[in-house]
A and B are shown apart, each in its own frame.
Chain A
């Protein structure tokens, strides 16, 4: 049973366009949520952590929201750049991190 789902699986946009990445959970329990970036063959880089008591977190061009009632989180990346091309993963925090399959983003120059 997939606990965390990310849609779409892949996304290709022209440079400068805003990115919207979605993450949903199968239950509405209160969890913290963490967004990561992974470059091909590399480890995970933590982008943002949203505590269950928060509704959003911002860091530079990145903004992540959390809606516990609908079991959804959204990562917004403003004014995308080719360097933003990577796989983005969301993970629900528990005794372990439960990961989605990720969204692979390609930003075309």
Chain B
């Protein structure tokens, strides 16, 4: 079974631009979460989508948004980029079934965003 894939793997943008990152979850997984990883703040939760609905959201400004499609693929968008948005953006998928009491998450390789 293929793992979580993220595109593109690397991006270089300038301040003020916007960017869209894509995530394809493991087949059959309905939950997709996004995390930002920086050396100073570590891994921080952005948001989670389940069945095309944002179910949970982290403490990030409204410039960060996302969506999920009917095939569970997800995109996140960052508008008006700032230097501090430079980070590794990780996507994780989970089957999220009520049949189990756990929610194991599987991560993609990430998209490295550099804002100049």
Binding site for B on A (CB under 8 A): 32, 34, 36, 41-46, 49, 51-53, 89, 91, 93, 95-102
Contacts and interface: CB of A to CB of B under 8 A. Distances in A.
Contacts of A100: 42
Given A41-B112, A43-B90, A43-B109, A97 B104 contact: no
B106 A101 contact: no
B96 to A, nearest CB: 11
Contacts of B4: 43
Given A89-B43, A96-B58, A34 B88 contact: no
Interface string B74-89: 0000000000000010
A22 B102 CA distance: 22
Contacts of B112: 41
B33 interface: yes
Contact of A34 (B45, B56, B58, B104): B104
